[in-house]
């Protein structure tokens, strides 16, 4: 559907919910949604007839989500952003959702500029990651049930797909490393990984052992944002040298997770896996961790990164154009295995 038709649909949605359409304009688009906005609100329109079938912005398959939606639909986003905002997280609320003429959401406008577009991003990014750590500390006050991608809980809310952390990890091992069961399609992907000559069977055996150890971690299920990148932050206009307050966007990949250890995943895709990184240190300090706690969390976060990389590579395995990306992830897995 062309932009003009989508804009007309956005206008229809606004009128249906009693909002003015003056100044309605195209804001931007990702893999899941096209966004149109006025000064008052924004409208997200699904770019697919069925939002549940839309992959996230990176083509990522969240571990344990095979055969299930890989990106939270608008009804889930309305629920979880309300949960987050209610505990003080700076994030836009979803004001209305619906399915006609296509899945849509009406959302509060986030005021400011995307962090990645900010003219002083290099100077202020460390401080923004510190603020993000503070926002995530509030986010993790939201207790959830189960682990993994959100599914209806039968009582008007949502819970993680898996009943326990151990079950979540068992499923991950079965799908990605063929531990405990071996579907032909999973074994084929594992063979593809090994055929690259980068990661070895010994490396994968070490990953398996680390995941087994992680099953014994003391964890609780909390709302986990997961997608912690600069392009998911809006920064308020600042003055007198102030870097500005941030607003957190894009809960599309959020899950019932274990909190800060999983929150490091996306940060580690761009920053060193070390507290020596100023941005990592600011992120964990903002969250409220001591230096010793931060060091321990980074070590656990490395395993989460390995699991995520293998999960993403699994999702890419059927696309020959993604082979370079798979190899890059396998090199990361091998590097971290050597560090262990």
CATH code (residue 154): 3.90.1200
For residue 256, the enclosing domain spans 110-161+216-339
Element counts in the chain: helices (H) and strands (E): 10, 12
Residue 318 CB neighbours (<10 A): 11
Count of CB atoms within 10 A of residue 188's CB? 12
pLDDT band at residue 47 under the 50/70/90 scheme: confident
Is residue 330 over pLDDT 90? yes
Domain membership flag for residue 167: no
Q: What is the pLDDT of residues 106-139, one digit of tens each?
A: 999 998 999 999 999 999 999 999 999 999 999 9
In which residue are the tokens 């040298």 written?
A: 241
For position 4, what pLDDT does the model report? 78
Give the Å distances, CA to CA, from 165 to 20, 59, 60, 124, 212: 46, 24, 21, 36, 11
Residue 284 located in a structural domain: yes
Within-domain flag for 12: no
Does residue 294 form part of some domain? yes
Average of pLDDT values for 214-235?
96
| Count of domains for the chain | 1
Q: The tokens 């959302």 sit on which residue?
A: 107
Name the CA radius of gyration of the chain, rounded: 20
Q: How many residues does the chain have?
A: 340
Going by pLDDT thresholds of 50, 70 and 90, the confidence category of residue 189 is: very high
Query: What pLDDT, on the 0 to 100 scale, is given for residue 67?
Result: 35
Q: Which tens digit of pLDDT belongs to each residue from 54-72?
A: 322 223 333 334 333 468 9
Structure tokens at 146: 């189960």
52: which residues sit within 8 A by CB, 6+ positions away?
A: 69, 71, 73
CB atoms within 10 A of CB 305: 23
Contact predicate 317/181, CB 8 Å: no
Q: Which long-range contacts (CB under 8 A, 24 or more apart) does 21-25 make?
A: none
Q: What mean pLDDT do residues 176-199 have?
A: 94
Judge whether 27 lies within some domain. Answer: no
Q: What is the DSSP letter of 143?
A: B
β-partners of residue 234 are 114, 247
Q: What is the pLDDT of residue 239?
A: 55
Residue 117, domain member (yes or no): yes
Q: Over the stretch 270-306, which tens digit does the pLDDT of each residue have? A: 999 999 999 999 999 999 999 999 999 999 999 999 9
Confirm whether 298 is domain-assigned.
yes
**Nearest to 172, CA basis, from 294, 304, 52:** 304
Mean pLDDT for the chain overall: 91
DSSP per residue, 82-136: HHHHHTT---PPEEEEE-SSS-EEEEEPPPSEEGGG-TTHHHHHHHHHHHHHHHH
Q: Which residues pair with 271 in a beta bridge?
A: none
Q: Which two tokens stand for residue 17?
A: 């919910």
Local structure of 72: helix, strand or coil = coil
What confidence tens digit (pLDDT) does each residue in 268-280 have?
Answer: 999 999 999 999 9
Query: Which token pair is 207?
Result: 């990953």
Domain annotation covers residue 246? yes
Q: What percent of the chain has pLDDT over 90?
A: 85
């Amino acid at each position: 559907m062309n932009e003009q038709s989508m804009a007309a649909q956005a206008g229809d949605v606004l009128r249906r919910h009693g909002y003015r359409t003056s100044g309605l304009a195209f804001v931007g688009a990702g893999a899941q949604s096209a966004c149109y906005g006025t000064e008052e609100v924004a409208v997200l329109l699904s770019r697919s007839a069925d939002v549940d079938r839309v992959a996230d912005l990176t083509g990522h398959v969240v571990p344990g989500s095979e055969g299930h939606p890989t990106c939270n639909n608008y009804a889930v986003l309305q629920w979880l952003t309300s949960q987050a905002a209610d505990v003080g997280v700076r994030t836009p609320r979803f004001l209305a959702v619906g399915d006609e003429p296509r899945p849509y959401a009406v959302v509060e406008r986030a005021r400011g500029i995307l962090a990645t577009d900010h003219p002083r991003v290099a100077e202020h990014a460390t401080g923004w990651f510190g603020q993000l750590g503070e926002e995530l500390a509030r986010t993790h006050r939201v207790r959830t049930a189960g682990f993994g991608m959100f599914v209806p809980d039968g009582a008007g809310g949502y819970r993680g797909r898996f009943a326990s952390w151990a079950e979540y990890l068992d499923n991950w091992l079965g799908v990605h490393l063929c531990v405990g069961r071996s579907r032909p399609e999973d074994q084929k992907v594992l063979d593809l990984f090994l055929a690259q000559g980068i990661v070895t069977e010994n490396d994968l055996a070490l990953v398996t052992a680390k995941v087994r150890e992680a099953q014994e971690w003391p964890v609780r299920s909390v709302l986990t944002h997961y997608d912690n990148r600069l392009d998911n932050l809006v920064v308020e206009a600042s003055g007198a040298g102030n870097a500005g307050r941030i607003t957190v966007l894009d809960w599309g990949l959020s899950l019932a997770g274990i909190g800060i250890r999983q929150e490091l995943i996306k940060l580690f895709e761009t920053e060193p896996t070390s507290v020596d990184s100023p941005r990592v240190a600011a992120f964990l300090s903002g969250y409220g961790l001591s230096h010793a706690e931060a060091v321990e969390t980074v070590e656990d976060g490395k395993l989460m990164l390995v699991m995520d990389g293998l999960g993403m590579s699994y999702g890419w395995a059927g696309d020959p154009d993604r082979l370079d990306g798979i190899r890059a992830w396998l090199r990361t897995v091998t590097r971290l295995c050597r560090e262990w």
